[in-house]
A and B are shown apart, each in its own frame.
Chain A
Amino acid sequence: MLNIHQLHKSYPIGDSSLHVLKGIDLNVEEGEMVAIMGSSGSGKSTLLNIIGMLDEADSGEYILDNLPIKDLTEKKAAVYRNKFLGFIFQSFNLINYKNALENVALPLYYQGIKRKERLEMAMFHLGKVGLANWAKHLPKELSGGQKQRVAIARALAANPKLLLADEPTGALDTKTSHDIMAFIQQLNDEGKTILMVTHEEDIANMCKRIVRLKDGVIMEDVNVEQVRAAQYV
């Protein structure tokens, strides 16, 4: 599903440059749920950004579902992101003047799907995250957990191959975090491949595999016994 080979990335800082990723090798199979862990500065966010095509690697190979991702133009990256990837952010990143339904429908708009059809599809996904009754509400009228659910519905709307989550529970309290994690686990159970950046051990343990990064290299890559979040809810 996802093959990364000898990925390097460095950022220029003044005259010198900061080598953030120093040859990452990572393979993720379909249906996996992987937590990428590491302290700040370990390169975990950079790795996620490269996988999310928000940033480009200096060298190395990145193959997503047999499609080599390289020489991305802005336009090409936009199409790939839209078709293959769903993003879940720590700060939700909903558009504040659009209601929940319109937010969820946005990726479908960029796929060129007709309004009626995409609103129906968006409604279906909102229903899936349990917010069908909140469709007409603006983000500011929703709680943090609800916002993240809308964001998850939005990430799912385009039916992506890969869900990328950047600290999805970072801005939520413990109870809501478990709530969201339970939902993400459920998605994984249904077969979605999920890649998640987190620095919280308990959240990482709710994944099936943990990849630990330190100073731009993978220190550890282990499969773990998944802790079901549902038991805390």
Chain B
Amino acid sequence: MFDIDLWREIFQSINMNRTRSLLSGFTVAFAILLFTILFGIANGLQNTFAEAFIDDANNSISINSGRTTKANKGLQAGRQIQFKNEDLDYIKEDFGDKVEFITAKIYKNIQASFRGEQNIYDVIAVHPDHQYLEKTQIKEGRYINQNDLNNKTKTVVIGKLVEEDLYLKTRALGKYLNLGGIQFKVIGVFTDDGGDNEERKIYIPISTAQYLYGNNDYIDQISLTYNPQMDYDQALAFSTLLTKKMKNRFSVARSDQRAIRVRNMAEGTKAVSQMTVGLTFIILIIGFGTLIAGIVGVSNIMIFIVKERTKEIGIRKALGASPKSIVSIILLESILITAIAGYIGLLLGVGVLEIVKPYLVDYFIKDPGVSNSLVIGATLTLIIAGAIAGYLPAKKASQIKPIIALRND
């Protein structure tokens, strides 16, 4: 039910009292402005943290080996622990479904060259699963597969920047790459969200690396992801059990922190996500506090308006205005002022965020902004806020007795 006359009355009243309408609008606009900026910054912080963990799967666990620091079961301290293929198979068999992806890794630094161009790169020998662990995105060609492992093929998957460095403007796919004097065929080029460092890596099949560099079955590191359906506590229990079993397998003392090191990303992720939630919560509280202050401001001014308009309301009542029509005039005026002013505040806030966006990256705030759902939510909140702000004054207005309002003094 849209009553154009009612709105005409309201616009007239707002228009005739510009100063006080502006004044009451200002509080709300300012409150929403602050709220939007705070909320945008909270979002920006969240984005930064989310990005920090986007590179690798955040349910990943890595296992490294080192020298024992304690004697155990008749074995001396200072013994070097060396993982082999059988250790990877052991984890696969023992944990079964709990492991999602698993790969062994061998790290090498090798000089790579193609025609006149050469450079030293991180060469990592991996299993096919590594693609999912690192979230490597294949741009061209394919990743290492089981067939490469079985046949110990001399194939490489190179990062986009390696292609740019060595192949200049040409395509690397299908061409050969000289890795420390051995020719490898480029079967794929990848990109990675992790940035430049990640895209300067070269992956080769693990079996090929073991055959070429030592003809053994040694492994430098084992990386795996656990079943993503596990919750935080289950994930912790999983890595604890994994640590225990690996220590047993290599007769390492339980208290030995160096010989076998298991790092669970879940611990870090959880701490950070809790911090982000906490931060967002604080910012929301501050934002809502400001909003409430704004509402109280409007309410205050509306009460003043009602006082100022007592006589007018009395006249209207004497002429036959029902209490309902008085309530709707005050209430709608309050809602209108709040909604318009709030919307201006929202737009200003978004504008300010847009302007300062580039300068905030240094402070770990990336892409601060407000979502559409927040804008809709804020609009609804504003209308409700306006109604709350206008309710008491409107009620007061409807109770004005014309006989008192019309007294001749």
Q: Are B403 and A79 in contact (CB under 8 A)?
A: no
Q: Are A79 and B319 in contact (CB under 8 A)?
A: no
B 103-138 to A, binary, CB cutoff 8 A, 1 in contact else 0:
000000000000000000000000000000000000
Q: Are A89 and B406 in contact (CB under 8 A)?
A: yes
Number of interface residues of B (CB under 8 A): 28
Q: Give Cα A170–Cα B409 distance, bound, in whole angstroms.
A: 13
Minimum CB–CB distance for A98 against chain B, Å:
7
Q: Give Cα A55–Cα B316 distance, bound, in whole angstroms.
A: 16
Q: Would you call B322 an interface residue if the criterion is a C-beta within 8 Å of the partner chain's C-beta atoms? A: yes
Q: Are B408 and A90 in contact (CB under 8 A)?
A: yes
Name B304-337 residues within 8 Å CB distance of A: 311-312, 314-325
Q: Which residues of the other chain, A, contact B12 by a CB distance below 8 angstroms?
A: 97-98
Name B360-408 residues within 8 Å CB distance of A: 398, 401-403, 406, 408
Q: Are B402 and A95 in contact (CB under 8 A)?
A: no
Contact partner of A91 (CB less than 8 A), chosen from B319, B322, B408, is B408
Known: A91-B408, A95-B312. A111 touches B320 (CB 8 A): yes
Q: Are B320 and A82 in contact (CB under 8 A)?
A: yes
Q: Give Cα A129–Cα B136 distance, bound, in whole angstroms.
A: 88
Q: Are B406 and A93 in contact (CB under 8 A)?
A: yes
Q: Which residues of the other chain, A, contact B8 by a CB distance below 8 angstroms?
A: 115
Q: Would you call A78 an interface residue if the criterion is a C-beta within 8 Å of the partner chain's C-beta atoms? A: yes
Contact partner of A158 (CB less than 8 A), chosen from B17, B320, B321, B408, is B320
Q: Give Cα A52–Cα B324 distance, bound, in whole angstroms.
A: 20
Q: Which residues of the other chain, B, contact A111 by a CB distance below 8 angstroms?
A: 320
Contact partner of B320 (CB less than 8 A), chosen from A89, A91, A97, A107, is A107
Q: Give Cα A110–Cα B402 distance, bound, in whole angstroms.
A: 16
Q: Would you call A124 an interface residue if the criterion is a C-beta within 8 Å of the partner chain's C-beta atoms? A: no
Minimum CB–CB distance for A175 against chain B, Å:
22
Q: Are B13 and A87 in contact (CB under 8 A)?
A: no
Q: Are A110 and B319 in contact (CB under 8 A)?
A: yes
Q: Which residues of the other chain, A, contact B233 by a CB distance below 8 angstroms?
A: none
Q: Are A110 and B324 in contact (CB under 8 A)?
A: no
Q: Would you call B5 an interface residue if the criterion is a C-beta within 8 Å of the partner chain's C-beta atoms? A: yes
Q: Which residues of the other chain, A, contact B408 by a CB distance below 8 angstroms?
A: 89-91, 167, 170
Q: Which residues of the other chain, A, contact B9 by a CB distance below 8 angstroms?
A: 109
Q: Give Cα A54–Cα B319 distance, bound, in whole angstroms.
A: 11
Q: Would you call A49 an interface residue if the criterion is a C-beta within 8 Å of the partner chain's C-beta atoms? A: yes
Contact partner of A79 (CB less than 8 A), chosen from B13, B322, B398, is B322
Q: Would you call B237 an interface residue if the criterion is a C-beta within 8 Å of the partner chain's C-beta atoms? A: no
Q: Are B13 and A97 in contact (CB under 8 A)?
A: yes
Minimum CB–CB distance for B34 against chain A, Å:
33
Q: Which residues of the other chain, A, contact B323 by a CB distance below 8 angstroms?
A: 74-75, 78
Q: Give Cα A99–Cα B127 distance, bound, in whole angstroms.
A: 86
Q: Are A75 and B324 in contact (CB under 8 A)?
A: yes
Q: Are B325 and A115 in contact (CB under 8 A)?
A: no
Contact partner of A87 (CB less than 8 A), chosen from B311, B319, B398, is B319
Q: Which residues of the other chain, B, contact A170 by a CB distance below 8 angstroms?
A: 408
Q: Which residues of the other chain, B, contact A52 by a CB distance below 8 angstroms?
A: 318
Q: Would you call A106 an interface residue if the criterion is a C-beta within 8 Å of the partner chain's C-beta atoms? A: yes
Minimum CB–CB distance for B356 against chain A, Å:
42
Q: Give Cα A54–Cα B316 distance, bound, in whole angstroms.
A: 12
Q: Would you call B1 an interface residue if the criterion is a C-beta within 8 Å of the partner chain's C-beta atoms? A: no
Minimum CB–CB distance for A165 against chain B, Å:
13
Q: Are B315 and A93 in contact (CB under 8 A)?
A: yes
Q: Give Cα A96–Cα B315 distance, bound, in whole angstroms.
A: 11
Q: Would you call B16 an interface residue if the criterion is a C-beta within 8 Å of the partner chain's C-beta atoms? A: yes
Specify the chain B residue showing the minimal Cβ separation from A171.
Answer: B408
Q: Give Cα A91–Cα B321 distance, bound, in whole angstroms.
A: 20
Contact partner of A49 (CB less than 8 A), chosen from B5, B16, B403, is B403
Q: Would you call A154 an interface residue if the criterion is a C-beta within 8 Å of the partner chain's C-beta atoms? A: yes
Q: Which residues of the other chain, A, contact B17 by a CB distance below 8 angstroms?
A: 97
Q: Are A81 and B403 in contact (CB under 8 A)?
A: no
Q: Are A54 and B318 in contact (CB under 8 A)?
A: yes
Known: A54-B402, A107-B320, A110-B325. 6 other contacts (CB 8 A): A75-B324, A78-B323, A94-B315, A115-B5, A158-B320, A167-B408
23 chain-A/chain-B pairs, Cβ below 8 angstroms = A49-B403, A54-B402, A54-B403, A74-B398, A75-B322, A75-B323, A75-B324, A79-B322, A81-B319, A82-B319, A82-B320, A89-B408, A90-B408, A93-B318, A93-B406, A95-B316, A97-B17, A98-B12, A109-B9, A110-B316, A111-B320, A115-B5, A158-B320
The chain B residues found within 8 Å of chain A, CB to CB, are 4-5, 8-9, 12-13, 16-17, 311-312, 314-325, 398, 401-403, 406, 408
